[in-house]
Amino acid sequence: MPLPTVTRSLSAKLLVLTVLFVLLAEVLIYTPSIARYRLTYLEERLAAAHLAALSVEATPDMMVAMELQNELLAHVGAHAVELIRPDSRVYMLSRSMPPTVDAVFDLRGAMAPRLTADAFMALAQRRDRVIRVIGPSPKDPAFQVDMVMDERPMIQAMIDFSGRILALSVAISLIAAVLVFVSLTRLLVRPMRRLTEGLVAIRRDPDGTPPFQPSARTDEIGVAERELADMQATIRSALRQRERLAALGTAVAKINHDLRAILSTAALLSERLAESADPEVRRVTPRLMASIDRAVELCGQTMTYTRDGLLPLARTAVPLRPLVEEAGTIALAALRPDGERAELRWNNRVPEGLTVRADAPQLSRALVNLGRNAAQAGAGAVTVMVETRPGGGLLLLVADDGPGLPPRARDNLFQPFAGSARAGGVGLGLAIAREVLRAHGGDLRLVESTAAGTVFALELPPGIVVEGAARVGEMPTSESPIPD
- d(CA 347, CA 403) in angstroms, rounded, equals 18
Instruction: Please give the helix or strand (H or E) that residue 184 lies within, else none.
Output: helix 152-184
pLDDT of 315 reads: 87
Kindly report, residue by residue over 58-99, the tens digit of the pLDDT.
Answer: 676 666 677 888 888 888 889 999 888 888 777 788 887 878
Instruction: Please give the helix or strand (H or E) that residue 262 lies within, else none.
Output: helix 220-273
Q: What predicted TM-score, i.e. pTM, was given to this entire model?
A: 0.46
pLDDT tier at 427, thresholds 50, 70, 90: low
pLDDT of 324 reads: 93
Q: Which residues contact 18 (CB under 8 A, 6 or more apart)?
A: 173, 176, 177, 180, 181
- d(CA 144, CA 1) in angstroms, rounded, equals 75
pLDDT of 483 reads: 38
pLDDT of 384 reads: 94
Partners of residue 376 on adjacent β-strands: none
Q: Are 317 and 263 in contact (CB under 8 A)?
A: no
Transcribe 306-335 into DSSP letters: HHH-SPP---EEEEHHHHHHHHHHHHTTPB
Kindly report, residue by residue over 407-423, the tens digit of the pLDDT.
Answer: 777 766 777 655 455 54
Kindly report, residue by residue over 138-174, the tens digit of the pLDDT.
Answer: 988 899 999 999 999 999 999 999 999 888 888 887 8
- d(CA 195, CA 182) in angstroms, rounded, equals 19
Span 275-281, average pLDDT: 70
Kindly report, residue by residue over 383-406, the tens digit of the pLDDT.
Answer: 999 988 777 688 999 999 988 888
pLDDT of 156 reads: 94
Residue of higher predicted confidence among 463 and 315? 315
DSSP state, residue 157? H
